[in-house]
Structure 1
Amino acid sequence: MFKLFVRLALGIFILFILPSLAAAGWWMTQHHEDNWRSADWSSSGVIPAKPEIGEASVYILAARTGGIKGALSLHSWLVIKRAGITSYDRYEVVGWGMPVRKNAYDADGRWYSNGPFIVHEFHGAEAEILIPKIQAAIEAYPYGKPGNYTIWPGPNSNSFVAHVLRSVPEMGIVLPSNAVGRDFPTDGKLFVIDDDWENFYATLFGYAGVSAGSRSGFEINFLGLVAGVDVLNPGLKVPGFGRVGF
């Protein structure tokens, strides 16, 4: 039993603690804003500032969050552009006031001065089909009242976006593995198989869990940190760093 405990502790150290310490060390060498007042929240130019009036679009965006949390986690949000209009709607969850915010920042605005990247995007007819389903999932988010936000293990900003992605499985994606809080069970279910049977999730309320399938590859979640293997797009999932491709 003692040997088993030692091996388990060593495995946790190698898979989760050591990479997290490395990520924290890397983060401390980077210049970043910890104060929201002095941070840059302006548009980053990742998506067109003024979209054309034509096709619909959907973007899932993410950026490193602020403070020491940025060493280990991203902040993610959704951007919707409906057909026939020239503006975006940005949806996300924050930790103050009403959790679910609409258009509180520029669609591709920096987060605590950290530039965002596109996790995935949809355009045209595909986006038009997805938008009503995404909107319904946003409206059905069960933690949208003041006081519902919990920074760890959730529900937080990543729990919200992950809720939408799970509610609309035809989007076919999961958030990056370093989006801490994405594995919190917003529907209260500890074991879930997606409607299309492409992925399954098992979790202990976001504190620990496992997921596998074409979207996740194989992942182990420990205290919100995720280690795993991306199978279809070969790479490793490393706590703090996210996906590291081969």
Structure 2
Amino acid sequence: MAVRAYWRLASVCLWVGLVLGTQGAQAQQNATRNWATAPRHSSGQAPDPRRFVDQAVVQVYAAPTYGWRGNFAVHPWIIYKREGQTAYTRYDVVGWRAPQVVQRNYAIPDGLWYGSHPELLVDHRGSGVEAMIDQIETAVASYPYVDQYRSYPGPNSNTFLAHIGREVPALQLDLPPNAIGKDYRPLSRPVGMSPSGSGVQVSVWGLLGLSVGLQEGLELNVLGLNFGIDLNTPALRLPFLGRVGMRDTPAPHSDRAEAGG
């Protein structure tokens, strides 16, 4: 009995040591990988603007937000360049830059978002993109919440990209279901276009609503959590997980194929 008690005590001590050691390693990693030191280098997804100087490009990215919120929410942004330009313009909403939350060139075009690798949501290149860029710039200028920011339920960075998607349907922007804030609508306008600009939406502050559209399919929003099904490119739309199914990035057209995209 004494031997058994000894081994039980030893096992408990070993388990506690492992737990404390793991927590210590995690704490040390968190101390060395805070927001100021988190990697923000290029993900290598944006076409080299100098190599493709004669091609207009529009792309939209989304990456898990920094910290614990990254488990269930994303941060999106849009980049573009016109024909003849050798650098991208980037726009996103950054809450800690209030009262001017709409930021131009806050970070590198396709960079990691404080350590999180971005997903490419939209990729348009070549013919017709110049006109799209005109519409994007108009949409950025007309964003109604330039001095407002709330992580939940909005307006936030996802509200900003949803506004651009509604104003520029040619983007075919399908923000993922875990883009909390994309469904934010004021009480004065609960009905309107869906965030992709391809359907209709009824939403109260982004807390309760329904969207039906060509890009987003059928999506129900309950307290900012979205559940639905996408039939355009078959997939389930789930909170926390995002899309579960076929990849939704638009297929390359001839201009993209020529560019090696």
TM norm structure 1: 0.81
Q: Residues 97-119 of structure 1: CA distance to partner in whole angstroms, max 9, x if unpaired?
A: 22000111100011120111210
Q: Which residue of 2 aligns with 1:120?
A: 122
Aligned partners of 1:34 and 1:66 also within 8 Å: no
8 Å Cα contact 1:142/1:186 also seen in 2: no
Partner SS state of residue 96, structure 1: helix
Separation of aligned partners in 2, 1:123 and 1:178? 27
Q: Per the alignment, do residues 61 and 197 of structure 1 end up closer, same or farther by CA in structure 2, a change over 3 Å counting?
A: closer
For 1:8, the equivalent position in structure 2 comes to none
Deviates more, 1:181-190 or 1:126-135: 181-190
Q: In the alignment, which residue of structure 2 is the partner of 1:56?
A: 56
Contact 1:81/1:89 (<8 A) preserved: yes
- Deviation sequence 1:55-100 (CA, Å, 0-9, x none): 1110011111111110101100000111111100010001122200
Other-structure match for 2:34: 35
1:136-147 paired onto structure 2 within 5 Å: 136-145=138-147
Q: Provide Cα deviations, 1:18-55, integer angstroms capped at 9, x if missing partner.
A: xxxxxxxxxx9xx9897311211121111134442101
Q: State whether residues 166 and 193 of structure 2, in contact with CA within 8 Å, keep that contact through their aligned partners in structure 1.
A: no
Shift in CA distance, 47/130, structure 1 to aligned 2, threshold 3 Å: same
Distance 1:62 1:239 in 2: 15
Paired residue type of 1:141: Y
Give, in whole Å, the separation in 2 of the partners of 1:244 and 1:207: 22
Q: CA deviation at 1:174?
A: 2.2
Whether the 8 Å contact between 1:61 and 1:116 is mirrored in structure 2 is: yes
In the aligned structure 1, how far is the partner of 2:136 from the partner of 2:187? 16
Whole-angstrom distance in 1 between the partners of 2:158 and 2:143: 12
Given that 1:234 and 1:245 are in contact with CA atoms closer than 8 Å, whether structure 2 keeps it comes out as yes
Q: Give the partner amino acid of 2:87.
A: S
What letter corresponds to residue 131 of structure 2 in structure 1? Answer: I
Q: Which has the larger radius of gyration?
A: 2
1: distance between equivalents of 2:207 and 2:167? 21
Of residues 84, 91, 106, the one that matches 2:108 is 106
Are residues 1:216 and 2:216 paired? yes
* Contact 2:54–2:84, Cα closer than 8 Å, also in 1: yes
The equivalent residue for 1:134 is 136
Residue of structure 2 in register with 1:22 after alignment: none
1:19 corresponds in structure 2 to none
Which position in structure 2 is the counterpart of 1:175?
175
Identity %: 37
Match of 2:258 in 1: none
Q: Is residue 203 of structure 2 the alignment partner of residue 203 of structure 1? A: yes
How many residue pairs end up in the alignment? 214
Structure 2 gaps of 5+ residues are 1-25, 247-261
| Conserved 8 A contact 2:186-2:205 | no
SS at 2:70's partner residue? helix
Cα distance in 1 for residues equivalent to 2:71 and 2:80: 28
Aligned amino acid, residue 166 of structure 1? R
Of structures 1 and 2, the one with the larger relative CO (CA 8 A, separation 6+) is: 1
Using structure 2 for the length normalisation, give the TM-score.
0.77
User: Residue in 1 aligned with 2:45?
Assistant: 46
- CA distance change for structure 1 residues 197 and 240 in 2, over 3 Å: closer, same or farther? closer
- CA distance 1:185–1:197, change in 2 (3 Å): closer
Say if 2:160 is the partner of 1:160: yes
Structure 1: tracts of 5 or more residues without a match? 1-27
Aligned residues: CA RMSD: 2.2
C-alpha displacement of 1:187 = 9.6
SS in 2 for 1:91: strand
**Retained in 2: the 8 A contact 1:185–1:203?**
yes
